[in-house]
Homo-oligomer: A and B are copies of this chain.
């Protein structure tokens, strides 16, 4: 059984009836619904819960954490961010969605500003598959088309991804690296661009498939953790003058 926690800021849903109509159970609820299967156990957590819903117990039992935030990145407590980071470095998978590019957890794992161009103008988006052999795009065709989305454009200030899986075309003239993987410590990190709150993107079955695939890709492997620090020699070292 794989344990997934979907974290959502859950503020747009409270303020904006358009968002509430699209996601009556919240973005977290929508994602939890399509991820849940017989072998995937999904919980949700939101900003305004105690510890943002991310107690030590929750974090320690989470195999893959999904992160959606936008309005209130600064309200996420540093202490919680540090714990999430620690867990990623120990092996927990992390999937950062859309405006989560500016979340504290993503920025601290990337080491860059994670800045980009953006526009809310109903751009058509077409996400082209660049690496068709990658398990994250299993079952996806040549591209995913979204009739309307927020535009994110290059330059996207991220480290060069370990793997670049999809690139977006936008109607207004921009491109974007939309599906990127990173290894950080023993954890796997996946950034996936689409998902502006005023569009029904997470109801799109291909988008759902990508996120479901990413959960399987990001899950921790069974491993003996490396040992750090002062190390005895494994071979004899000759004495020198």
Contacts and interface: CB of A to CB of B under 8 A. Distances in A.
Interface stretch (A30-38, A53-61, A64-72, A158-166): A158-166
Interface stretch (A11-19, A43-51, A138-146): A138-146
A154 B118 CA distance: 23
Interface size classification for chain A: 35 or more
How many monomers of this protein are in the complex? 4
Given A128-B174, A154-B128, A186 B133 contact: yes
A81 interface: no
B153 A223 contact: no
Contacts of A233: 119, 121, 123, 151, 171-173
Contacts of A188: 133
B112 A177 contact: no
Contact of A112 (B164, B173, B184): B184
Interface string A107-136: 011111101111101111010111111110
Interface of A: 89, 91, 108-113, 115-119, 121-124, 126, 128-135, 137-142, 147-148, 151, 153-157, 159-160, 162-164, 167-175, 177, 182-188, 220-235, 237-240
